[in-house]
Amino acid sequence: MNRKSRCWSLIALKIDERQYAGNIGQDDDLTRCYRYDSNVPNHKQLAVGDLVFIRDLKTLVGIARITGVASHKMKKTRARCPVCNITDLKKRETKLPMWRCSAGHEFASPNQKIDLVDGFEATYADSFLSTPDAIPVAVLKAAALRPNDQLSIEEIDLKNIEATLTKKFPKSQEILARFVADMVLAPEDADHDPAPFEPTMSDERIRILKAIKLRRGQSQFRKKLVKRYGRCVVSGCELLDLLEAAHIHPYLGEKDNHIQNGLLLRADLHTLFDLHLMAIDPISLLTHFHPKVSAAGYASFDKKPLHVKAGEGPLHKSLATRWEIFLETIKIP
């Protein structure tokens, strides 16, 4: 991706739930797309690859990856103050006149005006994952990078909601893993200091991409892998000084230090594995490399079986997720 993908909270409300009645809004097929227009702040920011969190007034409804953004001209009916013409209106339940605008004007009913605007439709098709009652709106709002109660499209920091979401809704781990796996390493990033380690997929991915820092993994986890495998499971290298403990499923906590979630890899192969330039077929347990990696001197390891004893290999389920991401990676020119 040429642009760093971002995370957004998208609010989808019924007309009678909207805070500002001047905005009539649009109907959304929440499992397929999100519709908005050029009057909405941040309307130019949503892009293919972004991760979106669709919510209502109380809770998260679902998460998805944007697969397309289309625009078109459209007519939009807006309710306006008959005195000052603004759309920042509220309907009152107990006072008369029933309507009041933010400028203080009170009136019996607003004017209806049709505006010509740019309409947008962000589609996510089959990537949508329903997450009923996964996390409350308060948690999403707390994760906002620039908090503003009036924003229906609001950028959020993934690391601030990841732990809560994956704990309450484990099925979300796969879509989050795919999102962070799509982050790319810019050439200039290699000169920057790595971000401090945090036990989340997003921060771990950023740490990897910022510097690919030399590491051996948690000492006890590595010791278990050394005892189990004794050598790099891909190259067969037995020089322990070069071997590192690699997590198959991204590290989220101590439970991910399970021996079936680990591989003992030579340092360079660990880097390729983290960048999804190398993967292991979960069925055949053959190692596969991205074509550009094979051409750079790794062809001798391509499509070779792992150096593991029967019944002592890694967990196939974890390998399967990595394998699917790898297959998508090799399709990208």
Check residues 147 and 292 and name the one with the higher pLDDT.
292
Q: How high is the pLDDT of residue 19?
A: 42
CA–CA dist 63, 179 (Å, integer) = 11
pTM (2 decimals)?
A: 0.56
d(CA 263, CA 241): 15
DSSP secondary structure, 79-138, as one string: EE-TTT----EEE-SSSSSSEEETTS-EESS-EEEEEEEEEEEEE-GGG-EE-TTSSBHH
Q: What residues pair up with 113 in beta bridges, in sequence order? A: 78
Model confidence over 94-130: pLDDT tens digits? 889 999 998 999 999 999 888 888 999 999 878 899 8
Taken in order of first residue, the domains within the chain and their CATH numbers are 7-75+112-168 (3.10.590), 214-329 (no CATH)
Per-residue pLDDT, 256:
60
Q: Which of 159, 144, 209, 154 is nearest to 181 (CA)?
A: 209
Q: Which two tokens stand for residue 278?
A: 């190398």
Instruction: Write down how long the chain is.
Output: 333
pLDDT tens-place string over residues 273-317:
988 899 999 989 999 999 999 999 999 999 999 998 877 778 787
| CA-based radius of gyration for the chain | 25
Q: What is the pLDDT of residues 210-263, one digit of tens each?
A: 544 334 446 788 888 999 999 999 999 999 889 998 888 765 555 566 778 889
